[in-house]
Structure 1
């Protein structure tokens, strides 16, 4: 975690490892003790000090109360969502707990297991995280420990595509005055439900649940809660799919610094990929590649091979789409090396890396040698994605499959697959992904609309929707060269005139009291308006509200 002071770092002068000690305040003498741990490498030394005791020998002044205090401090640092430091903290506490009688620390051992489960799920190790979380749900576990463990279990079941087990797990119910960890668990539970809804292309439900998660964070955790990046990313994905691309981008831009500094791999992956997709759809391919390169570097720094694989796969897609075959092949080679690495990654992460590699390989083949597309593997990826409940994630795979069928001379099947997707899309609200599809797929849609290609089934009811996709694609192409503020003059039409005025005054740096004096209303009324506009804009505080309003051209 960011607040821990214990790791092996590289010396600025020569790059050699140096031992950094863990200070703690002795309860008996008040003197600062520092005992060097023998083996724990922690990445990231940040401000503050988590005072956790470590000693290779017996300690007569250590007891239950001190361990309880260390665990409370550990929970505070776990909310910063840094997996490597969290794992090291847990190992330290486990070492200390091993010195106490097991009968006196049953509940604490459940809590330590929950700490370990959180750290492991942050590190993308689903199998180990699930085992730790299940052990934390023992009969001696406290309510807080059970809440956290259940949320970790649900997160793992979702990632594995085991929706039956996911829905069978109880969700966290908030008390009138929940503690911080209970509130964070409830926030994540709502975000996970939103993620499942998004996977199933129930976009409106996903946005409502993610918005509720943001509200829980604002009410019970505070305006600067890192955990709400996940639901914010889900809202951004829904906004993008609904054609509100500028709003989706602004929502992520307001949080991207926190996401890169300290957040979950899921938030980092979604944010960077969506921002890159938005940039690419506007023809800003260089910017998209920069965003993805930053994601790749972040994945390397944080030990997230899944993020590295995703960033490389999308780099391949963009490079291949621009006709830069050699650059695409270079990225594909790096992805192949990542897939071949022997490392402590879970089977699910290996599956995801293999999935990204198959998709990237197909993009390169489509550009370099279309007949070399591995259709069998591509179809298998499509089936596996659907089997895991990823209906939305399967859409890009379907579009890639349509391309592959076209270039391999299987036009009839390509048409039928595309028509099947077009039949589904209007009913679920699928929009922007089809607007931003490849040139080959767009030309096929255009041929169907113009009836130059006639599918076997009756598609007359699909023609208005397909025509709309082509119109919106042309509109987006025209808008790409316009100034940002001119693109969507009604982007935030949902704000009232009073709310627009208040956010503008916020942008001038006025306090609630000063805004009230300016408008002739009470500061409490200003606060109420501010709360409503935060909800409408899906932001946490006035800084993000002003940032978003600026990006939307309101200021």
Structure 2
């Protein structure tokens, strides 16, 4: 980031003046809109009190000297350096001291903290910090940042009413970069909401406006426009414009790797992997998802890891690789069990991916009853029966969160599960309901990509061999067009030149290299040779407690619970070769 940007931030947010606090009722109204959020910590949410000078008076220039530090903290936020920004905010807060005009500065510190916490995918804590930053009202120079964080946090928490209630701040004619970024993100959030509700035309217009703001005002690094670009790409994908969709996202992927936010990462990797899988390139799809998993480890984004593992299950199942699918499902189950420390929004998403992965694997087993789990001795088992109640509840919860697009994937799995359970009439009824919603919204590609079981059900309706109880004549042209496009896609799909079996080992090696440190790779290798912790400590000339510490971090990164699971996973991924002797205890 160049010095001009520092100057922009300094000019935009560096001349804060103390203002009167908002009425208590207004502050309480803001706080009550938070979902599952405890009151903000007193360190930055204390009631506004008249500040008195303590000891010797400090010159007014003291606050001015803090402004460059605040500008650098904003730089860190823009670059995606969340942890560094939080440390900087803490350091600046310690420098403020008893200054008479420190209230406004503390509010800006809270705005920095809110944006950084949002980058860490902690929507609850980000919302608390943003509400703290708004205690002087919505006219402070960085209030627009706090307002945008509130909107994003409410969206992540599934509180649509509070999302729409937050005030929007339109940028001035020539806004600074920080204001331009928040204006662009506001438009991108609106686009994401419209897309989730399957209002594709509105989503396209809003995403295009957001990209235009980014272009006109040069709003920071290229990664900052990843969210609107990904929403636009998703719209293009659903319209069948797959090449355009891929090009739009692929151009942002290098920036997302370097410093993007999680929303763009989840959408970008998921969409690109989906495109590769549909082109019969499962190896390329797995490479992208493995990279996403490693990025999730590096940034501590369990939600990105869960999305990656769930999609890996889907691809392995499609390739009849049930052992690998089971392994990914087991890792996802461990991750779901560890998500208690994650924010409430992340917990919901991780649980959603877990239910979807288990359903896909169970459906695959019903299709191939002879397949068995790769590791029957593993403590986590995936049920062979599809949990219809869990799918129904997940579909209901997703609809209540106004995510109609996300509910489509769940509905397709539910229809397939109903067919497997022998409830064909229920499956037909659910399919007709889904087709009506999809036709009115213009949804195409997701239904074209549906499973073979669901496709046969749709094709039977089109051909007249399957007749639902309700009148579906008006849906037949739309359903017929979907099946025609599906047949064309299958005919034009290139052969699978990179089969999963030929590429998964190289992919696993590259992922391990990204996710594990050199010492951790050495330790897992020695574990695979049957060495105990004491023997490893002697070999590496380190203390046994140090080996235990490395092992603990290694288990967390691999989403396993003990040495046996770690060595088994590493063996499956080609990271170690088992010595043939039993594994020693920890």
Q: TM-score range by the shorter chain?
A: 0.7 to 0.9
Corresponding residue of 2:397: 384
CA contact (8 A) 2:181 2:220 kept: no
1:411 is matched with which residue: 424, 429, 447? 424
Question: Do structure 1's residue 476 and structure 2's residue 489 form an aligned pair?
Answer: yes
Corresponding residue of 2:90: 91
Question: Do structure 1's residue 133 and structure 2's residue 130 form an aligned pair?
Answer: yes
Deviations 1:406-428 (A, max 9, x none): 11111111111111111121211
Q: Secondary structure at the match of 1:461?
A: helix
Q: Secondary structure at the match of 1:416?
A: helix
In structure 2, distance between residues paired with 1:436 and 1:162: 30
Runs (4+) of structure 1 exceeding 4 A deviation are none
CA contact (8 A) 2:289 2:312 kept: yes
CA contact (8 A) 1:114 1:149 kept: yes
In structure 1, distance between residues paired with 2:246 and 2:395: 28
Corresponding residue of 1:443: 456
Residue 81 of structure 1 deviates from its aligned partner by 2.2
CA contact (8 A) 2:415 2:430 kept: yes
CA contact (8 A) 2:276 2:284 kept: yes
Corresponding residue of 2:180: 183
Corresponding residue of 2:570: none
Question: Do structure 1's residue 397 and structure 2's residue 386 form an aligned pair?
Answer: no
1:464 is matched with which residue: 474, 477, 482? 477
Residue 251 of structure 1 deviates from its aligned partner by 0.6
TM-score (norm 2): 0.70
Structure 1 residues 196 and 2, CA gap change in structure 2 (3 angstroms): farther
Structure 1 residues 320-335: aligned runs within 5 Å: 320-335=317-332
Corresponding residue of 1:351: 348
In structure 1, distance between residues paired with 2:71 and 2:99: 19
Corresponding residue of 2:71: 72
Residue 143 of structure 1 deviates from its aligned partner by 3.3
In structure 1, distance between residues paired with 2:124 and 2:451: 37
Give the stretch that moved more between structures: 460-469 or 229-238.
460-469
Structure 1 residues 151 and 204, CA gap change in structure 2 (3 angstroms): same
Corresponding residue of 2:62: 63
CA contact (8 A) 2:180 2:219 kept: no
1:150 is matched with which residue: 134, 142, 147? 147
Deviations 1:480-509 (A, max 9, x none): 2299xxxxxxxxxxxxxxxxxxxxxxxxxx
Residue 472 of structure 1 deviates from its aligned partner by 0.4
Structure 1 residues 212 and 434, CA gap change in structure 2 (3 angstroms): same
In structure 2, distance between residues paired with 1:90 and 1:332: 39
TM-score (norm 1): 0.74
Question: Do structure 1's residue 421 and structure 2's residue 434 form an aligned pair?
Answer: yes
Structure 1 residues 239-258: aligned runs within 5 Å: 239-258=236-255
In structure 2, distance between residues paired with 1:254 and 1:194: 20
1:307 is matched with which residue: 297, 304, 320? 304
Question: Do structure 1's residue 275 and structure 2's residue 254 form an aligned pair?
Answer: no
CA contact (8 A) 2:289 2:311 kept: yes
Q: Secondary structure at the match of 2:171?
A: coil
Corresponding residue of 1:288: 285
Q: Please tell me the root mean square deviation across aligned C-alpha atoms, in Å.
A: 2.1
Give the stretch that moved more between structures: 350-359 or 237-246.
350-359
Q: Secondary structure at the match of 2:135?
A: coil
Q: Secondary structure at the match of 1:290?
A: helix
In structure 2, distance between residues paired with 1:343 and 1:261: 28
Structure 1 residues 474 and 301, CA gap change in structure 2 (3 angstroms): same
In structure 1, distance between residues paired with 2:110 and 2:471: 58
Residue 222 of structure 1 deviates from its aligned partner by 4.9
Q: Secondary structure at the match of 2:80?
A: coil
Residue 89 of structure 1 deviates from its aligned partner by 2.0
Long gaps (5+) in structure 1: 4-59, 484-555
Residue 94 of structure 1 deviates from its aligned partner by 2.0
Residue 140 of structure 1 deviates from its aligned partner by 6.5
CA contact (8 A) 1:211 1:235 kept: yes
Deviations 1:347-401 (A, max 9, x none): 2211211111011001111112476111111111101101111000100000000
Q: Secondary structure at the match of 2:266?
A: helix
2:467 is matched with which residue: 449, 454, 457? 454
Long gaps (5+) in structure 2: 4-57, 368-383, 497-586
Residue 84 of structure 1 deviates from its aligned partner by 2.2
In structure 2, distance between residues paired with 1:109 and 1:174: 24
In structure 2, distance between residues paired with 1:274 and 1:2: 33
In structure 2, distance between residues paired with 1:350 and 1:161: 12
